[in-house]
């Protein structure tokens, strides 16, 4: 059992949860994730490690309550226990040699991108962060993003905070200013990662994305997380989740992620009847 040592609500549907998991905390590298089970009979869900404290043995995940399992997780509180918290899993992001990076996060993807930005800044790289949210109310981790970067641009789709528009608008502006990025890291919704990838391909900038296919075991055994990268089949849980964006088949990923849509909708409606939405925590 894994004790929740801290829980914070970051916006109406997003939560930060810190868990005492000393073995996991000792071995984490940026880009890795954990498989979490709320209770013994719960579904396993993958969540990326947003931060960790080796001395305290604590690991923090930031998650959005989008469906039945994440809604159930959002109902757990400080002092409660999680049945399973297995990790670190996945191949760490290859960050060595990057000197001038633009790290892009979309929504909860900002939390996932933070360890990369932090590592790069600590290892002497210039780091710009571009973070995108639909509106001001949804902004999370602003202070953390500012401290992990040299320049942090926050964009909102409706212009209610920061720069109005999409992250790709801000990225294009930065590229045209001659920032000379040697790598772009983009983590967020699939359409956002696809749009960033299309733009950086045009300018020949190496781009890494963190893919989020449906994962079941998280250890390379079930094949559930199959993605196509460079025409080859890869298992995101062991070969990734980070991949060269310019090689990823985003359309296939979109289709595969919708496979269980009806079942997910049904389960979410059931959980909402039991607990109410994430707003009623
Ligand atoms: C490597 C990886 C890291 C992730 N890190 C984070 C994170 O740090 N924070 C965060 O908020 N979300 C993260 N996700 C997505 C998160 O796992 C899903 O939101 C969660 O599993 C949804 O489950 P649900 O039952 O609440 O929702 P559901 O209603 O079941 O699903 C909602 C959507 O989530 C996705 N999803 C559902 N089940 C899974 C599954 N078993 N594995 C992967 N995706 C699934 C599907 O796209 C689905 O349409 C990550 C996904 C992957 C693959
Ligand atoms: S989740 Fe089963 S092979 Fe990746």
Distance CA(2)–CA(33), nearest Å, equals: 16
94-192: CATH number: 3.40.50.80
* Average confidence (pLDDT) over 103-109: 96
Q: Which CATH superfamily is domain 2-89 in?
A: Translation factors (2.40.30.10)
Which residues of the chain does CATH 3.40.50.80 include?
Answer: 94-192
Q: What percent of the chain has pLDDT over 90?
A: 89
Ligand 1 atom 46, closest CA: 257
Ligand 1 atom index nearest CA of 61: 8
| Ligand 1-lining residues (CB < 6 angstroms) | 33, 43, 45-48, 61-64, 66-70, 108, 112, 212-215, 241, 257, 264, 268
Does this model's pTM top 0.85? My answer is yes
Q: Please write the tens of the pLDDT for every residue from 121-145.
A: 999 999 999 999 999 999 999 999 9
Question: At CB < 8 A and 24+ separation, what contacts does 216-219 make?
Answer: 216/44, 217/35, 217/44, 218/33, 218/35, 218/44, 218/46, 218/86, 218/87, 218/89, 218/90, 219/89
Distance CA(220)–CA(30), nearest Å, equals: 19
89 CA distance to ligand 2 centroid (A)?
11
Which residues of the chain does CATH 2.40.30.10 include?
Answer: 2-89
Write down the pLDDT at residue 281.
59
Give the model's confidence band at 166: pLDDT under 50 very low, under 70 low, under 90 confident, else very high.
very high
Distance CA(91)–CA(94), nearest Å, equals: 9
């Amino acid at each position: 059992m894994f004790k929740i040592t801290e829980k914070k609500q970051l916006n109406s549907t997003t939560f930060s949860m810190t868990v005492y998991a000393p073995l996991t905390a000792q071995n984490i590298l940026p880009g890795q994730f954990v498989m979490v089970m709320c209770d013994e009979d719960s579904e396993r869900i993958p969540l990326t490690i947003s931060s960790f404290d080796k001395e305290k043995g604590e690991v923090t995940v930031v998650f959005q309550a989008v469906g039945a399992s994440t809604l159930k997780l959002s109902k757990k509180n400080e002092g409660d226990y999680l049945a399973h918290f297995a990790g670190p899993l996945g191949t760490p992001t290859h960050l060595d040699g990057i000197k001038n990076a633009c790290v892009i996060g979309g929504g909860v993807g900002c939390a996932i991108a933070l360890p990369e930005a932090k590592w790069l800044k600590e290892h002497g790289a210039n780091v710009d962060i571009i973070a995108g949210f639909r509106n001001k109310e949804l902004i999370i981790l602003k202070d953390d993003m500012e401290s992990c970067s040299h320049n942090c641009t926050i964009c909102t789709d409706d212009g209610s905070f920061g720069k109005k528009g999409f992250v790709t608008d801000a990225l294009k502006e930065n590229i045209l200013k001659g920032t000379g990025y040697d790598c772009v890291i983009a983590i967020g919704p699939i359409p956002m990662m696809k749009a960033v990838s299309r733009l950086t391909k045009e300018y020949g900038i190496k781009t890494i994305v963190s893919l989020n296919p449906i994962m079941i075991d998280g250890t390379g055994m079930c094949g559930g997380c199959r993605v196509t990268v460079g025409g080859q089949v890869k298992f995101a849980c062991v070969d990734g989740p980070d991949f060269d964006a310019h090689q990823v088949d985003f359309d296939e990923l979109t289709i595969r992620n919708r496979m269980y849509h009806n079942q997910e909708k049904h389960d979410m409606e059931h959980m909402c009847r039991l607990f109410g939405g994430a707003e009623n925590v």
